[in-house]
Structure 1
Amino acid sequence: MKTLQNQTLLYDEDCPLCQVYTTGFIKAKMLDENGRKSYGQLSETEQAFVDVKRASNEIALIDNQNKTVLYGIDSLLKVIGFSFPLIEKIGNLKPVKFFLKKLYSFVSYNRKVIIPGKINKDQKLQCVPDFNYKYRFLFIGFATVITSVVLYHYAALLPVLPQAGITREVLIALGQLVFQSLFMLKKDKKTILNYAGNLMTVSLMGSLLLLPLLAVQAVVNVPENVILAWFALTVLIMFTEHFRRIKILELPAYLCLTWVVYRIIVLLLILNF
C-alpha cells in the first residue's frame, strides 16, 4: 500500500464514521502517522489558508508542504487514488463524480442527525455542518420510504393486523412527524427539523433491525410469537435511542411520552378500522 506523505485529513471528532475511516487510512498506511487531525485542533497558521467554514461541511485534506487544501470527495479520491489509481480515475469521471458529490453532501449535511453528539461549548472551533434544508428533507424522505417499505412487509407477517397497502405505512411515518411537531410549535423551524431528522433516524434504525427476521422468514417459517417478540424488542430499542437523543438535543422529555402515545393511537386505529 502506497503512503501519501505530508498530507493531513481534518475530521470531525464527534462523528464516529469520520473517526473510523480516517483511522482506517492510517492503519492501512494510506496516510502517514500524522495523516489525520481533529478539526478543533486547527492552528491559527492553518486557519489562514484553510476555508474553515467549508471544512466543517466537507472533509479537508491539507498539503503540509504546499499549503494547499482539497475538500470533500476530492480529498477522499486523492487519498484512495494514491494507492488505487484506477479508483481515482473512475471517481473523477463526470457522471460518477457528480453522484459521489451528491451522496457525500447527503451524508455530511445530515451526519449530526444520523449520529448526534454533545457539543463541547468550551471548544472554539466546532465542526458543525451548515443547516441545509434540501438535504434534510431528502434525508427525511429517504428514511420515510425505507421505513414504510420494511414495515409494510413486516406487517404482512402478523395476521392480527389488517392488511393494507404501503400507503398506510407512509401516512403513519409522516403522521408521526406532524404529531410530534405539534408539541414543538414554540421552537424555531431548525430545531424542529433537527428533531425530525433524529426522529426519522430512529425509525430507520428500527426498520433495519427488522430486516434480519424478514430475511429468516424468507427461508423458514418463523412462529408468530417470535415475530411479535422481535418487534417488541425493536420498539424498546427505538424508545431507548429516542430518549438518548432527546437528552443530547436538550429537548423536553415529554416528547418520549408523545412518541409512545402516537404509536398507541395508530395501533388502535389499525385494529378498529
Structure 2
Amino acid sequence: MKTLENQTLLYDEDCPLCQTYTTGFIKTGMLDKNGKKPFANLTDEEHSFVDFKRASNEIALVDNKNKTVLYGIDSLLKVIGNSFPWIEKVGNVPPVKYFLKKLYSFISYNRKVIIPNKKANDTVLQCVPSFNYKYRIIYIIFALLLTALTLYNYSKLIPNLPIGNFSRELIIAFGQIVFQSMFLLKLGSRTLLNYTGNLMTVSLAGSILLTPVLLLNQFINIPEIIILAWFAITALLMFIEHFRRIKILELSTALSFTWVIYRVIVLLVILNF
C-alpha cells in the first residue's frame, strides 16, 4: 500500500467501527504509525483550525504539515484513494458521492444508538455526534422494516403459529415502540428517540441472529424444535442486551420487563385470535 504521510485521523475512541477501520488503515500501511489519534486528545493548536462540531459528526483527517482538514467521506476517500486512485475517482462522481455522504451521515448520526457507551466525566472531551431527528427517524423506520420482514419469514417456519403476514409483523414491531414510549413521555423527545433507536438496534440484532436459520432452511429442513429453541435463545440474548443498554442510558430497568410483557401479550393475542 502507498502510505499517506503526515496525515492524522481524529477518531471516536468509543466507536468500535471507527477504531477498527482507522487501525486497519495503519496496519495495511495506508497511514503511517501516527495516522490516528483519539478525538479526546485534540491539542490546543488543532483546536485553532479543526471544526470541532463538524469533526464530531464526520471523522477529520488532519494534514499535520499544511494544517488543513478534510471531513467525513472526503477524508476516507483521501486515505483510500492514495493507495487506490480509481476508488477516489469513482467516489467523487457526483451521484456516487451524494450517496456515500448520505450513507456516512446515516451511520455517523446513529452510531451512539448502534453501539452506545457510558457517559464520561464532563471534563473529558467526547466525540458525540449532533442529535439529528431526520437520520434517527430514518434509522428507526429502516430497523422496523427489516425486523418485520425477518420475523414474517421466520414465523413461516413455525407451523403451529397462525398464518401471519408482513403487515402484522410491522404493526407488532411498531406497537412495541408505542407501548414502550408510554413510559418515557415525560422525559422529552430526545430521550424517547435515543431509547427507541437503541430498542430498534436490539431488534436488528435479533434479526441478524435469526437470519442464519432462515438461510440454512433454504437448503435443509430444520426441525421445528430447533427453530423454536433458536428463537428462544435469540429472545433471551435480546433481553440481556436491552437490559445492558437501559443501564448505559441510565433509564429505569422496568423498561426491560415492559418489553417482555408486551411480547407476551402479543403472543397470547396471536395464539387466541
Say yes or no: TM over 0.5: yes
| Partner Cα distance (1:20, 1:123) in 2 | 26
Q: 2:73: which partner in 1?
A: 73
The answer for unaligned runs of 5 or more in structure 2 is none
Give 2:49's aligned residue. Answer: 49
Q: Which residue of 1 aligns with 2:8?
A: 8
Report deviation, 1:160: 1.4
Q: Indicate the residue corresponding to 1:31 in structure 2.
A: 31
- Taking the aligned partners of 2:152 and 2:123, their CA distance within structure 1 comes to 45
Map 1:92-111; keep pairs closer than 5 Å: 92-111=92-111
Shift of 1:255: 0.2
Deviation at 1:122, TM superposition (A): 4.2
CA–CA distance in 2 between the matches of 1:123 and 1:37?
18
CA distance in 2, matches of 1:121, 1:227: 45
The Cα offsets for residues 112-135 of structure 1, whole Å up to 9 and x where unpaired, read as 000001121244321000000000
Task: Extract structure 1 runs of 4+ deviating beyond 6 A.
Answer: none
- Which residue identity is paired with 1:234? T
* Equivalent AA in structure 2 for residue 225 of structure 1: I
Q: CA deviation at 1:165?
A: 1.4
- 2:154 is matched with 154
- Deviations 1:205-231, CA, capped at 9 Å, x for gaps: 001100000111100000000000000
Q: 1:56 touches 1:127 (CA, 8 Å); kept in 2?
A: yes
Aligned counterpart, 2:216: 216
| Whole-Å separation in 2 of the counterparts to 1:157 and 1:250 | 38
Q: Which amino acid aligns with 2:151?
A: L
Whether the 8 Å contact between 1:199 and 1:242 is mirrored in structure 2 is yes
1:81-92 residue pairs with structure 2 within 5 A? 81-92=81-92
Q: What is the aligned length?
A: 273
Q: Encode CA deviations 1:32-65: one digit per residue, 9 max, x unaligned.
A: 0000000000001100000001000000000000
Structure-2 separation of matches of 1:105 and 1:256: 30
Do 1:40 and 1:123's aligned partners in 2 also have CA atoms closer than 8 Å?
no
- Could you tell me which amino acid in structure 1 is paired with residue 27 of structure 2? K
Mapping 1:65-214, distance limit 5 Å: 65-214=65-214
User: In 2, distance between residues paired with 1:60 and 1:176?
Assistant: 38
Deviations 1:221-270 (A, max 9, x none): 00000000000000000000000000000000100110000000000011
Q: Unaligned stretches of 5+ in structure 1?
A: none
Q: Distance in 2 between matches of 1:268 and 1:116?
A: 33
TM-score for both structures, normalised by structure 2: 0.99
Q: How far apart, in 1, do the equivalents of 2:140 and 2:110 lie?
A: 10
Percent identity over the alignment is 67
What SS does the aligned partner of 1:179 have? helix
Counterpart amino acid of 2:35?
Answer: G
> RMSD in angstroms over aligned alpha carbons?
0.6
Query: Which deviates more from structure 2 when the two are superposed, residues 68-77 or residues 156-165?
Result: 156-165
